[in-house]
Amino acid sequence: MIKAERAKYVHEKLDELYPETPIPLDHTDPYTLLIAVLLSAQCTDERVNLITPALFGRADNPHAMAEIPVDEIRAYIKPCGLSPKKSKAISELSKILINEHGGQVPKSLEELEKLPGVGHKTASVVMAQAFGVPAFPVDTHIHRLAQRWKLTDGKNVVKTEADLKKLFPKESWNKLHLQIIFYGREYCSARGCNGMICPMCTTLFPNRKTAVVTKK
139: annotated active-site residue: yes
166: annotated active-site residue: no
CATH T-level fold of 3-21+136-204? Endonuclease Iii, domain 2 (1.10.1670)
Question: Residues spanned by CATH 1.10.340.30 within the chain?
Answer: 30-131
Residue type, 125: V
| Distance of alpha carbon 103 from alpha carbon 136, whole angstroms | 26
- Per residue in 40-89, pLDDT (tens digit) is 998 999 999 999 999 999 999 999 999 999 999 999 999 999 999 999 99
| Distance of alpha carbon 52 from alpha carbon 32, whole angstroms | 9
CATH class of 30-131: mainly alpha
Q: Specify burial of residue 132 (Cβ count, 10 A radius: 0-12, 13-18, 19+).
A: exposed
| Distance of alpha carbon 95 from alpha carbon 97, whole angstroms | 5
Active-site residue among 71, 95, 139, 216?
139
Q: Specify burial of residue 140 (Cβ count, 10 A radius: 0-12, 13-18, 19+).
A: middle
Active-site residue among 45, 88, 107, 121?
121
| Distance of alpha carbon 159 from alpha carbon 157, whole angstroms | 5
| Distance of alpha carbon 78 from alpha carbon 74, whole angstroms | 6
Question: Residues spanned by CATH 1.10.1670.10 within the chain?
Answer: 3-21+136-204
Q: How far is CA 97 from CA 56, 121, 206, in A?
A: 17, 19, 51
- Per residue in 170-212, pLDDT (tens digit) is 999 999 999 999 999 999 998 889 999 999 999 999 999 999 8
Can you state the percent helix, strand and coil of the chain, rounding each to 5? Answer: 60, 0, 40
- What's the pTM value of the predicted model, to 2 decimals? 0.91
Backbone dihedral angles phi then psi of residue 163, each to the nearest 5 degrees: -65, -45
